[in-house]
Chains A and B, each alone.
Chain A
Amino acid sequence: MRKSFAIVSAVVLAAAAVNPVSAQTISDEQAGLISSNCASIKLQLQNTERYGSKSRQHLGAQYESILTNLIINLNLRLVKNNRANGEIAEQQIKLSSERDYFRNKFTDYSRELESLKNFDCKSEPQAFYDKLVVVRSKRNEISESMARLREIIGQHRESVSKLREELANGQ
């Protein structure tokens, strides 16, 4: 008995680890709302997808620009002037890695959003809502990645300001 309880608990925990987004049971009223507003929900999802795609391109271009046009060139220039800066070099690596993560998270989110868009919200409102919760979580991951990217960029700005002070003080 104890053994079987342990097995069941392990399976439940494993399932929770695989899918960290917990399912949320909706009320009958809310299910009714989803079914009746299905068409407008789809339209809203479509608009969100379009704006998301536009933002991803815009933000992706900015991250790329900072990395390839600014940080990499600054690092190269510092090395050529025998002023290699470990902090700035590390920021380059961190930014590159987080930018890749951001790209991947956007792809995951878009896949889930597309699947949600094509889901029948009229006849399966609960399953639709479960999927919506997953999409929200994926969207949140993008937002978190953006915050981390911004933090790295902020740290980079501080490092460059520090370098400027050193140069001004003739170091």
Chain B
Amino acid sequence: MASNPDKPIRGRRNLIILGAGSILIAAITTIASLQIYRATGDIYLDRSRPGYIFEDEKHNEEDDQKESFSNEGEINVEVIDEYLNELDTVIKRIDDSADDFSPEPLSDDSLNISLDEEE
């Protein structure tokens, strides 16, 4: 198939269009994913954000242990005892964090904006 000699090859222009198009698509998808990241609330759980890692956070390996209870097998007293043991382990962890969202850290006293303290 012979090329048309009258039609000039616009390589440079096509290259610019390709480059600009790629950048545009990348920008659109990045903005869309950031919007989803924010809208779903994942941003507030992402501790890989700069400044989010605590020095004392390496001790939480225990929390990563997952409880397990098979959905197969018979039901008897021993099985239920095992279940209750597993359940109690998680309940203890929850109870240890019961005050994690107490009002204290945002109180006037904690923020040093209490007039009583000043007086």
Please report A residues at the B interface, Cβ cutoff 8 Å: 27, 29-30, 33-34, 37, 40-41, 44-45, 47-48, 50-63, 65-66, 69-70, 72-74, 76-78, 80-81, 83, 103-104, 106-107, 110-111, 114, 132, 135-136, 139-140, 142-143, 146, 149-150, 153-154, 156-157, 160-161, 163-164, 167-168
Using known A-B contacts A51-B105, A139-B106, A143-B101, determine if residue A160 contacts B80 with beta carbons closer than 8 Å. Answer: yes
Chain B 30-69 interface mask (CB, 8 Å, partner A; 1/0): 0000000000110111110001101001001001101111
Which A residue's beta carbon lies closest to that of B80? A164
Cα(A77)–Cα(B79), bound, Å: 11
Min CB distance, A108 to chain B, in Å?
Answer: 9
Cα(A27)–Cα(B113), bound, Å: 11
Q: Do B113 and A33 have beta carbons less than 8 Å apart?
A: yes
Which A residue's beta carbon lies closest to that of B100? A55
Q: Do B80 and A167 have beta carbons less than 8 Å apart?
A: yes
Question: Chain B contact residues (Cβ within 8 angstroms of A): what range?
Answer: 35 or more
Q: Do B101 and A142 have beta carbons less than 8 Å apart?
A: yes
Residue B98 at the A interface, CB < 8 A? yes
Contacts of B64 in A (CB 8 A): 61
Which B residue's beta carbon lies closest to that of A128? B113
Q: Do B81 and A164 have beta carbons less than 8 Å apart?
A: yes
Q: Counting chain A CB atoms within 10 Å of each CB, which of B51, B73, B95, B113 scores highest?
A: B113
Q: Do B111 and A103 have beta carbons less than 8 Å apart?
A: no
Return the contact of B67 from the options A52, A70, A161 (Cβ within 8 A).
A70
DSSP class of A's interface residues: helix, strand, loop or mixed? helix
Cα(A168)–Cα(B84), bound, Å: 15
Q: Do A70 and B101 have beta carbons less than 8 Å apart?
A: no
Residue B74 at the A interface, CB < 8 A? yes
Q: Do A44 and B110 have beta carbons less than 8 Å apart?
A: yes
14 contacts between A and B (CB under 8 A): A34-B113, A37-B112, A50-B47, A52-B100, A54-B57, A56-B45, A58-B93, A62-B94, A72-B71, A74-B83, A132-B106, A135-B106, A143-B101, A160-B84
Min CB distance, A126 to chain B, in Å?
Answer: 12
Q: Do B47 and A54 have beta carbons less than 8 Å apart?
A: yes
Contacts of A150 in B (CB 8 A): 94-95, 98
Q: Do B52 and A77 have beta carbons less than 8 Å apart?
A: no
Which A residue's beta carbon lies closest to that of B52? A50
Return the contact of B44 from the options A45, A56, A139 (Cβ within 8 A).
A56
Residue B87 at the A interface, CB < 8 A? yes
Residue B20 at the A interface, CB < 8 A? no
